[in-house]
Amino acid sequence: MGTLTIRLSDDKHTRLKELAQTRGISINKLIEELSTIALAEFDTMTRFKALAVTGNPKEGLQLLAKLDSLLSTQQES
């Protein structure tokens, strides 16, 4: 397991601490969860770009439109 030291403004540190408390977790666990989300987004984009090179642009745009529709429906509920 690696160790990471980061420098944050006092305000940002306080806000992250409050966010962690509202979730009932430590700041360390919060940063771990946020980094997992960031890496998943990165992996998804990397995979999408790799598939896009060999894919059909029209089908890709249709899938993105469908995804946008699903995401907007989820945000409304």
pLDDT tens digit sequence for 14-69: 999 999 999 999 999 999 999 999 999 999 999 989 988 888 888 888 988 999 99
The answer to whether position 34 is within a domain reads: yes
pLDDT for 13 = 97
The whole-angstrom separation of Cα 61 and Cα 64 is 5
Q: Is the pLDDT of residue 76 over 90?
A: no
pLDDT for 27 = 96
Instruction: Say which residue, 74 or 41, is predicted with more confidence.
Output: 41
The answer to whether position 2 is within a domain reads: no
Domain that holds residue 31: 10-76
Residue type, 33: E
The answer to whether position 61 is within a domain reads: yes
Q: CA nearest 34: which of 9, 10, 15, 11?
A: 15
- Give the CA distances from residue 42 to residues 7, 17, 23, 38, in Å, rounded to whole numbers and listed in that order: 23, 25, 24, 6
Instruction: Say which residue, 76 or 29, is predicted with more confidence.
Output: 29
Contact of 44 with 38, CB cutoff 8 Å: no
The answer to whether position 49 is within a domain reads: yes
